[in-house]
Structures are given as structure tokens and as C-alpha cells.
Chains A and B, each alone.
Chain A
Amino acid sequence: MFAKVANPTAAFAPGSAELQVQLRRAERSKKIWALVLIAPLFLFLAVTFVVPIARTLFLSVENPELRDMMPDLAAALQAWDSDGTPPDSLVRTFAADVLTAHENRTLARVGKRLNFSISGFRSLLLKTARRMPPQDSPDLLAELTALDKRWGERRYWAALKQASTPYTVEYLLAAVDHQFNPDGEIVEKPPERSIYLTVLARTAWISFVVVTICLFLGYPIAYLLATIPTKYSNLLLLLLLLPFWTSLLVRTTAWLVLLQNQGVVNDLAIWIGLWDEPVQLIRNRLGVYIALVHIMLPFMVLPLFSVMKGISPTHMKAAASLGATPITAFLKVYLPQTLPGAGAGILLVFILTLGFYITPALVGGPSDQMLSQFIAFNASTAVNWGMAGALSLLLMVGVAIFFSIYSRLVGVRDLRLG
């Protein structure tokens, strides 16, 4: 913009420098004004969106408990090469710090962190603090091992060392079903403890199926809306949007009432004679698909509708007059023009479905839980924010990968969101 203006003015030799300065000044004040106007929005986004997300992701690598509450031990552990049994000086620092932390009542918090690495570590620490052998004992490690034989196992000391670094990848590893072994090597978790990769794949699959159903159901609806007279289409649009304004929880619960074994649908079907025994329609994958498709359908229909609205009906007539069959005309003329709308709908529905959690929790069975449920569980029930952050990161990376593949294949620039 500025360059275009600047070049022609260069021809007016004497006044040009002054004019350029004036122009620049005018442009600058405009820019400042523009910045001032968007500043509130920018601030709002930064405070409510960027900072919390960055903070959550940061939580997934933070490792502060041991360093904050047992600083001497953390330093001593850092100096230890974690080979063989812990040296006597380390054990003494450990004993002293455990007692201090117990007095300060911070030991339980350290224990909670260590419990993540080895289950039962929390009570081991508290028990040890309550019955700490005398500090001047010649072989403190032997005394500790006599108190609880677990202190003789290297993996407990290795877990302490893992917890003493400023940052850790333990949560991120756990999010992809991996962990450290006592030698500090990354190994797969045993199958009876591996879950998150399965859940991630399941989440992606459910989203894919929901997108596909929405596309096939939504396309004819959008076509109908776009082609019938406005007075009817407005009414239908209103019906489509009505669920939008109803609470998600209400809609989900309504499905429960409709689809349960003694629910409306089953009772009706048995009464008509469609089937004799109640059919399980809910608390399984089918229920998840039904409820999610219902919620997501408007997100597919609206972008399709807005694109179809802009396609002139003369195109199809022209194709027909050139001898194309209705199917050929649809495939060659109409369908390609609606692709930007379909692309936008697919993207919206897929990404929104990936993050869903309350609906699958209520209408799904035990093997239909999606990743967000595990994030919510870790954040609010287990209060393991490191794990919640790591799983959020996993989901975000999943979305980012999908988005980049999608934009490569479809081209995000051509999308029309309505």
C-alpha cells in the first residue's frame, strides 16, 4: 500500500521528501489507531486463551515438587549417577530432608508426585518419616531397608532421581503409553497399563465416523434448504438451529430417555412388532454415534447451505441442455462447486468431535470413552495436572497433524465457513 503511493510521488522532485514524511506520518497514525482498536480483543485472547493454554502445556513438563520441597535431596540426586546402590551421603541427605519435609507437612505433596512414578510411594515416604531410624546409625540404608524392604530396590531411588530434574518428560511419555525403567531408558508400558494410544485412535475413529454420517445426512438437507422457496427454508433452518439453542446436557439426557431399554423408541418398536426384546440402542457405540451426529449436524449443514445458496440453478440447466444426464450434471457441475462447503463442514465437525467428552460419557459404554474424558479425569478428579497437560498436548498434536494433512489435501484457503 505504502510502496504504491511512494513510487509515483518520487517523480515530484522538490516536495517529495516532505510529502513522503507526511504520508508516512498519516499512515503511521492510522496503523496506531488500528492497533488501539484491536488491542482489547488481542488482550482478551491473550489472557483467556493463549496464556492458559501455554500454562497447561507447560504443566506437562514441569517437575517442581521435589526441588521445591526437598532442595538438598534434589541436588544430591542430581549428583548421583544412579548406578548401583545409593551412596551413604545421599541416604543421609534423604533422611534429613524427609524429616524436614514431614515437619513442614510438605511430604505428602512430594509423595503424590512420586506415586505417579511408582504406586504406593506416597505411603512409603510417610511411613518412613514416621518411623525414621536414628540419623547417626552407621548404615542408614540397611536400617531403612529393615524398616521397609522397598528401600533396597533400585527403582525407588531411580524414581526419586527422575523426580529431581527441573523438567520431566514422564507425563508426556505416559500419554503415549511409555515410561522410564530404573536405568533411565524409555520403555513401553506393559499392556495391562497401556491405554492412551488406544483411546486416541478410538477418538479419531469415532470422529471420522461421525463426520461421514453427518456428510451423508447433511448434504441432502442442505440441498433442500438451498433450493426450496425462502419462506419454507427459513422455517426449516429454524428447526435445524433449534437444538443449537438447547443445552447440550438436556439434549444428551433426552437421548437417554428416548433410547434406553424401557425408552420411547424400544417401547414403540415392540408395540408395532419390529422386534420382541428391547434392543440395546444406548450405552454403546451406536448411542454415541446417534447423539454426536445429532449435535454435530448443524455444523455440517450450515457451511454446505451457504455455499449451495450461491450456486446458480442455471448451471444445472445448462449442463442438461448440453446433454448431461442428471447424475453426470450433479457430479461434474454441482458437486465440485459445493466442495468448499463440504470441506469446511468436515473440518469443523471432525475437530469439534475430537474434543467431546460429556456426551460419550453419558450415552457411551465403557469402551466408548474419548480422550477428553481422561483429560477431565486427571484435571479434576485425580488432580494430576501434569498428566492432564500431557494428554491435552497429545490431543492438540493430533488436531495439528490432521489439520496439516487436510490442508495439504483439500486446501484450507478455499474453505467457506458460511
Chain B
Amino acid sequence: MKLRQLSTVLAVSVAAGFGGTISADAADTITVTSWGGSYSESQRKAFHEPFMAETGKTVLEDEWNGDLARVRAMVDTGNYQTHVIDAESGQLVAGCDEGLWEKIDYTALGFGPEDFLEGAAHECGVGNISWSFVFAYDKDQFPDGGPQNWADFWNVEKFPGKRGLRKSPKWNLEYALVADGVPLDEIYEVLGTEEGLARALAKLDELRPHVLWYETSAQPPQLLADKEVAMSSAANGRIYTAIVNDGQNFEIVWDSQAMDFDFWVIPKGHPEADLALEFIKFASRPERMGDQTNYVSYGPLRTAAVEYVNPDILPHLPTAPDNTVRWFKTDTQFWADNRESLTERFNVWLAQ
């Protein structure tokens, strides 16, 4: 395995060394760019290796950190270093608006938006996994039953203890509205108005004395384990890792979870876009998507993939039936438009 990784790295660096182009005659080699770590490893096992076995083509791996400037350089110079990129919804929307991604031809793929969760089949990218921003609590601190929803998160009489919240407006404003009784499908509509924003901040005001603001996504499991907080907002993968790998007694509350997706995208104007599409088609097969859950706790976005999901991990996936009773999709377009303005308001509010 080590040797294999090394050879992949070598192959990528050699390719990059020779001007970075995967030359046209190497039509049986495809480069897939993703986020590294255990996430890339899950893709290697669920997609790359079976793809190589079935088609006889070679999959090279590359990593990125969401830097769209690098994609822009590829598209502007025609010097493509990758066929397929795993993008978060933020990069998907920004890159789509800036014309960095190929439009997806769903007829060629043989499936369409109706086979996916809503919003997961985008004109510029095919959704692959969902991850979720939820809240989790420490079961040791609530032996008689813990909080069940965001209204409980706000209820400090019934569930005493500090609350961990991320020091940024994204999701906090949404949660505040959810706790205040706004229906999930109206969150962004309400938040888009001045009164809605004031309402969210007023709701956050109630909780302010009990909030411990954290800075990075690695903090919530630590804060819970140290009993610095009784409950905290967090990315579901982080909490899952703490439960499974570190044996922590945490519980994720999935009610009104804020889901977000990752997408496969193809750099605009790629001469081998059909090859990229072939890979995406392969990786979107329900059994492949289901297989990925053997290696990572992110949910497949194709509805048919559910039956192939590892049953042990199912209760921990954002897309599991029990977890999607009440959920909403993070509105990336809304945040692309309003982030500066809302961050400004939020920072002023925080500093009061």
C-alpha cells in the first residue's frame, strides 16, 4: 500500500514535472483531484481501484485545497493538470458563475436530477457525498435524556451547560431561526430580510451568556471531551470519528441538520471531458457510492445507493432515512451573495 501510494505520488509529480499536461495520446490515464487524507483514501478504494480494474485505465491522484485560481490558470492556458475535481458547494457555485466548469450532460450519463437528492445534480457538477453541520451533546452530562432539537439547544433551564458555537455567522443564523420556529424551507427567505436578520440576532442574544465560541472545526469534539461545553455545533464527520475512534460517549442530534454537498466537476474546455464523464458515471453507480461508506461517514447522494450502504455506518450518515426527517440544504448562493454583509453584522453583534 505504501509503495503504491509512493508510485502514485511519483507518477503525479513526474506528470507535473513535464509541464503538467496529461498528453493527448495518454487517453487511458485520468487524473482525479480531491481533498487528501482519509477522504481521498475512501475514494481510492471505492472508485479508483475498481475503475482501473474494470476499464484497464490508470487513475492518478492529485490534491487541492479549493483554490479556484489554480483552476482558472488551467482553463485560461489550456494546460489541464486534472480531469475531474472534487469540489465543495462553494467552489461549485463560484466556479460555475465564473465559467470554470463544464456543463454536465446528464443524457450522456444516463441518470438525472430525479435520481439524486434535491440540489445534488447541478448543471456544473454531479453530487457525490453529503456532509452535515449538526449539533452533538455529551451523553454523560445528560443521563436522563439529552436535547432533541435546536429549541432544546436554546433551552438552558432544561439542559444546563455551556454551548459551543462556531465564531462565524454561517449556520448560527440559520439555527437561531430554526430554534425560533421558522420552517426549514423559509430559513433563507427570512434571513434575506432585515427583520429576519434582526430576529436571528435577537434569538442568539438569548443564548449569548451560555455560548463558548470556537474557531476551528477540530475544536468541538475536544471541547465536549474536556466537558468545557455540554453541547456544540459540529461537522458530523468529526463527531463520528470521536465516537468510533476515541470511544467518546457523544450523541449527534440530526433534527434540522444543515446539509452540504461535494460535487464532481470537470475543468471547462478539457479536451478529454468524455473520459472525465466516464469516470463520473462509474463513480455515481449506486453500488460504488454505497461502497464508499465502508471507509468514511459521508452519505451518498444518489437515492438508489442507500441499499448498498454499510449498515453499521448507516445511522451516522447525513442521508440516512432516520436522520433526514427534518433537514435543510445550506444555500451556497445565499452565502455567496451575503457573506460579507452578514459577517459584518455578526462581528458587530459579537463585539457588543
Chain A residues in the interface with B (C-beta under 8 A): 104-109, 111, 115-116, 119-120, 122-123, 126, 191-195, 198-199, 202, 260-262, 283, 361-362, 365-367, 369, 374, 377, 382, 384
Contacts and interface: CB of A to CB of B under 8 A. Distances in A.
A120 B338 contact: yes
Interface stretch (B42-50, B149-157, B298-306, B340-348): B340-348
A262 B228 contact: yes
B340 A123 contact: no
B345 A382 contact: no
A377 B346 CA distance: 13
Interface in B297-352: 333, 336-345, 347-352
The binding surface of chain A is classed by DSSP as helix
Given A123-B336, A123-B337, A366-B213, A382 B350 contact: no
B351 A366 contact: yes
Q: 4 closest pairs, A vs B, by CB?
A: A105-B99, A119-B341, A366-B350, A108-B97
B275 interface: no
B251 to A, nearest CB: 20
B226 interface: yes
Contacts of A108: 94, 97-98
Given A105-B99, A193-B345, A367-B350, A262 B227 contact: yes
Chain B interface extent, by class: 20 to 34
A382 to B, nearest CB: 6
A116 B337 CA distance: 10
29 contacts: A104-B99, A105-B97, A105-B98, A106-B98, A107-B97, A108-B97, A115-B337, A115-B341, A119-B340, A119-B341, A122-B336, A123-B336, A193-B345, A195-B347, A199-B351, A202-B351, A260-B226, A261-B228, A262-B227, A262-B228, A283-B212, A361-B215, A365-B213, A366-B213, A367-B351, A367-B352, A369-B350, A377-B343, A382-B339
Contacts of B215: 361-362
A192 B338 contact: no
Contacts of A202: 351
B238 interface: no
Nearest to A263: B226
A54 B99 CA distance: 32
Contacts of B70: none
A193 B194 CA distance: 13
Interface in B251-285: none
Contacts of A374: 347
Contact of B351 (A119, A123, A193, A195): A195
Contacts, number: 74
Contacts of A120: 337-338, 341
Given A107-B97, A122-B336, A260 B228 contact: yes
Given A107-B97, A120-B338, 19 more contacts: A104-B99, A105-B99, A105-B100, A119-B337, A119-B340, A119-B341, A119-B342, A192-B348, A192-B349, A195-B344, A195-B351, A260-B228, A262-B227, A262-B228, A361-B215, A366-B213, A377-B343, A382-B340, A382-B343
A365 to B, nearest CB: 7
A384 B340 contact: yes
Contacts of A111: 97
Nearest to B349: A192
A262 B223 CA distance: 10
Contacts of A377: 343
Nearest to A199: B351
B340 A115 contact: yes
Contact of B213 (A105, A116, A194, A283): A283
B57 to A, nearest CB: 31
Given A120-B338, A366-B167, A262 B213 contact: no
A119 B337 CA distance: 7
Contacts of A362: 215
Contacts of B351: 195, 198-199, 202, 366-367, 369
The binding surface of chain B is classed by DSSP as helix
Given A193-B345, A361-B215, A366-B167, A123 B333 contact: yes
A261 B161 CA distance: 12
Contacts of B333: 123
Contacts of A261: 162, 227-228
Contacts of B228: 260-262
A261 B351 CA distance: 22
B306 to A, nearest CB: 34
B64 to A, nearest CB: 16
Interface string B227-243: 11000000000000000
B11 to A, nearest CB: 32
Nearest to A364: B213
Contacts of B340: 115-116, 119, 382, 384
B97 A126 contact: yes
Interface string B83-106: 000000000001001111000000
Nearest to A257: B226
B349 to A, nearest CB: 8
A195 B100 CA distance: 35
A10 B351 CA distance: 73
Contacts of B339: 382
A90 to B, nearest CB: 25
Nearest to B99: A105
A198 B94 CA distance: 33
Nearest to B198: A192
A107 B345 CA distance: 26
A270 to B, nearest CB: 14
A108 B336 CA distance: 10
A365 B336 CA distance: 27
B338 A119 contact: yes
With most chain B CB atoms within 10 A of its CB, the pick from A119, A120, A261 is A119
Contacts of A116: 340
Contact of A262 (B226, B342, B352): B226
Contacts of A115: 337, 340-341
Given A119-B340, A119-B341, A366-B213, A193 B99 contact: no
A348 B305 CA distance: 61
B172 to A, nearest CB: 11
A195 B227 contact: no
Contacts of B350: 366-367, 369
Nearest to B201: A192
Contacts of B94: 108
A366 B167 CA distance: 8
A374 B340 CA distance: 12
A361 B228 CA distance: 17
Contacts of A191: 348
A193 B228 CA distance: 32
A103 to B, nearest CB: 9
Contacts of B345: 192-193
B37 to A, nearest CB: 21
A14 to B, nearest CB: 71
